[in-house]
Amino acid sequence: MKFKNLVYVFVTVTLLFNCSSGSDDDTSPTPNPNPNPNPSGKITYNGNIKSIMSANCTSCHGNPPTNGAPMSLTTYSQVKSAVETRGLIGRINNTNNPMPTDGLMSQANRDLIQKWLDDGLLEN
């Protein structure tokens, strides 16, 4: 009888511990590389591209653009139009004349932008 009570205590404590370690996992700081994925697995402006532009481009291509940049890259239609009419993908892969101006972004970022074009320049 006494042993059985100990088993109940053990099980209860174990369950409580599992609950608290579960919530630790929820607050772990691992960044999510694709915070808003399209259900089909396609690359989208809001899911993938907007954050790359904010981190690498809008310091000059902001609204309004600064440092001599000729256009803003702060909205879906501006970035889409820059891919279609301003050679954005060429510039982000051009080692002689790169965008951003201080050197190429990671291959992963450049691949995402190329795949965004291949997937049809989706917004969401």
Q: How far is CA 15 from the centre of its chain?
A: 35
Per CB under 6 A, does 91 bind ligand HEC? yes
Q: Site for ligand HEC (CB under 6 A): how many residues?
A: 20
Measured CA to CA, the distance from residue 92 to residue 113 in angstroms comes to 9
Compare residues 37 and 65 and give the one whose CB is closer to ligand HEC: 65
Binding-site string for ligand HEC from residue 39 to residue 68, where x marks contact by CB under 6 A and - marks none:
-----------------xx-xxx-----xx
Per CB under 6 A, does 112 bind ligand HEC? no
Instruction: Enumerate binding residues for ligand HEC (CB under 6 A).
Output: 56-57, 59-61, 67-70, 73, 82, 86-88, 91-92, 99-101, 105
